[in-house]
Amino acid sequence: MLATEKIMAFVATRDPQGAKAFYQDTLGLPLISEDNFALTFDANGVMLRVTTVQEIVVAPYTVLGWNVTDIRATIADLVRAGVQFQRYPFFQQDELGIWTAPGGAMIAWFKDPDGNTLSLAQM
């Protein structure tokens, strides 16, 4: 029924201006629109709505991720833009914070200004 429809992604923010700076300036996503309810970005053809909420309930898992072609170069670019990558005691991560999954995928995590966990993956 929905197989041919485009998906939208959502993430919450308490600070729309901080989120706008992060998603637009730090991550480089084009801003499509903004109003009192949400910021809307184009994430390579996927609509990302950063919804303004009164209270954030941070999920203990990744809420949004990107499949990238060169994870090391992408991490370097994001670090230069001020992004800090997360380290987790239950994963063996390399010096850049990359964990190599048993299937070979390389994954690294970072947070947005509201504490939402985001990720990069190279399959």
State the CATH architecture for 8-122.
Answer: Roll (3.10)
Find, among 53, 11, 17, 48, the residue nearest to 30 by Cα. 48
Residue with tokens 């729309």: 16
- pLDDT tens across 81-118, in order? 999 999 999 999 999 999 999 999 999 999 999 999 99
- pLDDT tens across 16-36, in order? 999 999 999 999 999 999 999
**Residue spans per domain, the chain:** 8-122
C-alpha dist (Å) from residue 41 to 13, 16, 67, 107: 14, 13, 17, 23
Tokens for 67, please give them: 């499949």
